[in-house]
Amino acid sequence: MEKIIDESIQGQALSLNKKEGNGRKLFIESYGCQMNFSDSEIVASILSKEGFNTTQNLEEADLVLVNTCSIREKAEQTVRKRLEKYNAVKRINPSMKVGVLGCMAERLKSKFLEEEKIVDLVVGPDAYKDLPNLIEEVDAGRNAVNVILSKEETYGDISPVRLQSNGVSAFVSITRGCDNMCTFCVVPFTRGRERSRDPQSILEEIDDLASKNFKEITLLGQNVDSYLWYGGGLKKDFEKASDFQKATAVNFAKLLDMVAEKYPKIRLRFTTSNPQDMTIDVIEVMAKHKNICKYIHLPIQSGSDRILKEMNRLHTRQEYFSLIDNIKRLIPDCAISQDIITGFPTETEEDHQDTLSLMEYVKYEYGFMFAYSERPGTLAERKLEDDVPEATKKRRLNEIITAQRAHSTYRHEAFIGKTVEILIEKESKKSDAHWSGRNTQNIVAVFPKGDYKIGDFVMVRIDECTSATLLGEAVGYSDNN
């Protein structure tokens, strides 16, 4: 009898521990795109309900989670290197458990457990709500895997724990997955079908951020322009929706308009836009609202029509130019940035010149440029030989980077002598006497601190620039404070 009472008391104590702080420490780190960083905030929220507290100190962690990226081979190698580091820590702290989340988890599935002995737990991007059960399995000494992709999961009901936040800018995810099937890209396989989040839950999350005094919100999705809410369901089934659902559907332009209207003091950004899905209404909504930042990340990947076709990008070079022209017509000061891949299979010198001439036309403010990296399971890997030599890929990449640097400098020089609004985000990396923030075009500006503080909107006169940064002096608060 005594024994039973003892056990029940102990059981109660354990369950209290579990829900109200089990004293366990979670170390979570993220690689890859913003979506991964945003997902880690969802994971931290799910685990905080299980009593986990986050720590920045790997050595004291009970559970280490790494949110991984598969986009290029190098991204995967970086994660493998990190696992080596965890291995070294585990020698000192043998009870530490290690879990792999995100795109690599989804791509490699249980193979991860065989390839990396340090790994106890493998969880794909749609399975984070199952983490409490999976951790129980691991606690019981078994490895645990859940990589089931979902057609519905948006985590709309979870309030993210803001990790390493500056208290000024935050990400809010609005869509998950991607249906575009670009032939080079692993994302449709690792993140599954595209689905949109209920606008109500998006507004609730922004309400919460506004009440906490956040000043800038970036709406996130692999393809934001494809956002479509008609009460749930995949985009491809929209045709079958009822007349009421169709009449009350919310697309990206509407969502952006709603958010901008409701929060006039909050700066809004969004990423990523796919040229084939971006509509003129989105550009019009951007032009209409002062608080929507005048910046569009608009990946092109290649300037050659033939390569665009091989990549299954469903637009031509000319259609891209028309989109750029429309953006510049409606928002003359809109900044545009690119993603470009060099050395996609079959790319010739002429194709490469087409990319350079396209860049010359657009003169992007900024760019993210990569050498093609063949990804297992993608359409390109199955159908095309990776036939451009590494040295050629690298040489073309360097030419693209040189062109981009010149264009960034050209765009930045246009700001010299102008006074622009900057939202202060952090101390400058190079000097503790300077603040760093961005203007509406997403260009970083650095200036002496004065009496200003993080989160202030200030007017900064630009005196100098580099290809990466504007340098200037604050001349007063902006009227947005």
User: In angstroms, what is the minimal distance from the CB of 354 to ligand SF4?
Assistant: 25
372 contact, one of ligand SF4, ligand 5AD, none, CB 5-8 Å limit per kind? ligand 5AD
Instruction: Give the interface segment with ligand SF4, choosing from 167-175, 184-192, 320-328, 383-391 (CB under 6 A).
Output: 184-192
Q: Which of 31, 86, 184, 447 binds ligand 5AD (CB under 6 A)?
A: 184
Q: Which residues, numbered 15-54, are part of the site for ligand SF4 (CB under 6 A)?
A: 32-33, 35-36
User: In angstroms, what is the minimal distance from the CB of 236 to ligand SF4?
Assistant: 20
Extract the tokens encoding 93.
Answer: 């702290």
* DSSP result, 110-133: THHHHH-TT--EEE-TT-GGGHHH
Q: Which residues pair with 229 in a beta bridge?
A: 250
DSSP 3-state of 198: coil
Residue of minimal CB distance from ligand 5AD? Answer: 339
Extract the tokens encoding 297.
Answer: 């990340």
Q: Are 455 and 478 in contact (CB under 8 A)?
A: no
DSSP 3-state of 214: coil
Please name the residues in contact with 333: beta carbons below 8 A apart, sequence gap of 6 or more: 294, 440, 441
Cα separation, 255 vs 403, in Å, equals 36
Q: Following CA atoms 35, 39, 42, 46 in sequence, which dihedral angle do they give, to the nearest 10 degrees?
A: 170
Binding flag, residue 83, ligand SF4 (CB under 6 A): no
User: In angstroms, what is the minimal distance from the CB of 359 to ligand 5AD?
Assistant: 14
- Helix axes of 280-288 and 317-330: crossing angle, nearest 10 degrees: 20
Amino acid identity, residue 100?
V
Cα separation, 103 vs 109, in Å, equals 10
Print the binding letters for residues 341-380 with ligand 5AD: x by CB under 6 A, - otherwise: x----------------------------x-xx-x-----
Cα separation, 481 vs 477, in Å, equals 7
191 contact, one of ligand SF4, ligand 5AD, none, CB 5-8 Å limit per kind? ligand SF4
Q: Which of 103, 135, 144, 423 binds ligand SF4 (CB under 6 A)?
A: 103
Give me the long-range contacts of 233-237 (CB less than 8 A, separation at least 24).
234/151, 234/193, 234/194, 234/195, 235/179, 235/194, 235/195, 235/196, 236/179
For ligand 5AD, the closer of residues 232 and 299 by Cβ is 299
190 contact, one of ligand SF4, ligand 5AD, none, CB 5-8 Å limit per kind? ligand SF4
Binding flag, residue 378, ligand SF4 (CB under 6 A): no
The one-character DSSP state at 95 is T
Binding flag, residue 70, ligand SF4 (CB under 6 A): yes
User: In angstroms, what is the minimal distance from the CB of 299 to ligand 5AD?
Assistant: 4
Distance from CA of residue 414 to its chain's centroid? 29
32 contact, one of ligand 5AD, ligand SF4, none, CB 5-8 Å limit per kind? ligand SF4
Chain positions contacting ligand SF4, by CB under 6 A: 32-33, 35-36, 69-71, 102-103, 186-187, 190-191
Interacting residues with ligand 5AD (CB under 6 A) = 71-72, 184-185, 299, 301, 339, 341, 370, 372-373, 375
